[in-house]
Amino acid sequence: NKLELGLTADVVGEEEKKLQEKVLRDIAEADEQLIKERLAKEKLIDIRVNRYNRRGELENEKAEAEAKEAEEAKEKLEKAEAKKKAKALVKAKKKKDKNKKPDVRWKIQRFSPIRKKWIDFNEYYSDEKTAQDRAAVLRVRHMADKLKFRVVGLQ
């Protein structure tokens, strides 16, 4: 009996060892499988995250491009408006200058022998030299008519 029990114990011990080894192998395989599954999940998550990130990057790039285009369009519009304003200002200034009489300080008068007084000749000048030159020209031109011209300063 003892011998049988010893053999049985050895057999049982070997079977237990085999069983333990099998259990350890199963655990190792399960661990490997778990690790593989985790890696696959992580890889899938990474792929999804990358896709999401890429999608986000593409959306960001699109948004940036649209913002850039909008900014350029806004700048063009502002430039066009500034140009229009400048043209309008120039036009208004020309119109104002056209209507505005020059800075008149001198006028030419001619003497009327009939009325016996000096009459404005409707010629106005900003500087005296120009007025004197013009009066001299008029005197020479009307020498035969004996008309008198003078330059008068305005106050």
- pLDDT, tens only, 35-85: 999 888 888 877 777 777 777 777 888 888 988 999 999 999 999 999 999
Domain count, the chain: 2
Within this chain, do residues 142 and 83 fall inside the same structural domain, yes or no? Answer: no
Q: One-letter amino acid identity for 54?
A: R
Q: Quick one: 79 and 6 in the same domain? A: yes
Question: Are 85 and 110 within one domain?
Answer: no
Interacting residues of 67 by C-beta distance below 8 A, sequence separation 6+: none
For the CA atoms of 37, 38, 43, 45, what is the dihedral angle to 10 degrees? 110
Q: Tens digit of pLDDT for each residue in 97-150?
A: 766 665 778 888 989 888 999 988 888 888 888 889 989 998 888 888 788 888
Q: pTM for the whole thing?
A: 0.33
Q: How far apart are the first and last CA of the chain?
A: 153
- Domain range holding 72? 1-100
